[in-house]
Structure 1
């Protein structure tokens, strides 16, 4: 890894988080590709598992725009992992359901993701693992929960 921190300056949080995110996304993509899904498809399926959510609601939870959400759901439906049904309360909305095959893939994906996470965290001293996860959860649940008003574009978590 290279460092984008100024000489003698403190670590650059943006660079460190970006590097870690990119490396982890690459590992997830490789592991989930063996199951025939992308990380985005995995997150969408995981959100749909809750049941009775519209594709708009799932897209918002994942930080995915409408067009990307439609493409992702088209792929999931073609693979037999999810299906869209009309909402009984809003004829314009579609509810997303996970199929039995989608449930099987989700279960295997959970194992893949857990294995990668365990492997990554194992490189830290044990006392630092929970502290790192707690600190990151605090940041994304608080100060970094939303995109700044002046920032162009939105977040893409999935």
Structure 2
């Protein structure tokens, strides 16, 4: 006797969210690559502008481990988009400072990110787009705002800037 798959009583929300997130990330990566950036480089640039932030603070915002953060900042420095500088408030700390060229690039890359998001949302009828965004915001601020404790934690999602 062959076992049958259990009957699904709800839509596979995990698949729907994972798939759309994956495809959105691939489109974002391709679009930013045209500027010579990765999504992580964009994240560091936009979060290092306007406020002194250390590598550790930026790593937390971008959900990057220390090694990935170092590689990302090295790439930004090599491209002339950012540099490590001493903090103006803590002489022991070093911050990531965005150069003038980096600020121009952050403006361009934010336009690219916004366009990728716009294109995805624009593929939906206006009422569905509004409903989707409303529902996702409710989930993010409500039932799905806090990860469950687990002995085998899943990869942590990128945190929204407060």
TM class, shorter-length: 0.7 to 0.9
Cα distance in 2 for residues equivalent to 1:53 and 1:18: 31
Tell me the equivalent position of 1:105. Answer: 105
Count of matched residue positions in the alignment of Structure 1 and Structure 2: 154
Contact 1:51 1:96 in 2 (8 A): no
Cα distance in 1 for residues equivalent to 2:75 and 2:126: 39
Gaps of 5+ in 2: 1-5
Give the CA deviation at 1:113.
1.4
Cα distance in 2 for residues equivalent to 1:43 and 1:110: 9
- The higher radius of gyration belongs to 2
Answering whether residue 146 of structure 2 is matched by residue 157 of structure 1, we say no
Within 5 Å, give how 1:5-154 maps onto structure 2.
9-150=9-150, 151-152=152-153, 154=155
Cα distance in 2 for residues equivalent to 1:112 and 1:88: 32
Cα distance in 2 for residues equivalent to 1:146 and 1:93: 31
Contact 1:64 1:156 in 2 (8 A): no
Cα distance in 2 for residues equivalent to 1:71 and 1:146: 29
Gaps of 5+ in 1: 1-5
Give the CA deviation at 1:22.
0.7
Q: Once superposed, what is the RMSD of the aligned Cα atoms?
A: 2.3
Higher mean C-alpha deviation, range 35-44 or range 9-18: 9-18
Give the CA deviation at 1:18.
0.7
Q: TM-score, normalised by structure 1?
A: 0.84
Cα distance in 2 for residues equivalent to 1:141 and 1:76: 33
3-state SS of paired residue (1:148): coil
Give the CA deviation at 1:47.
0.9
Give the CA deviation at 1:135.
2.6
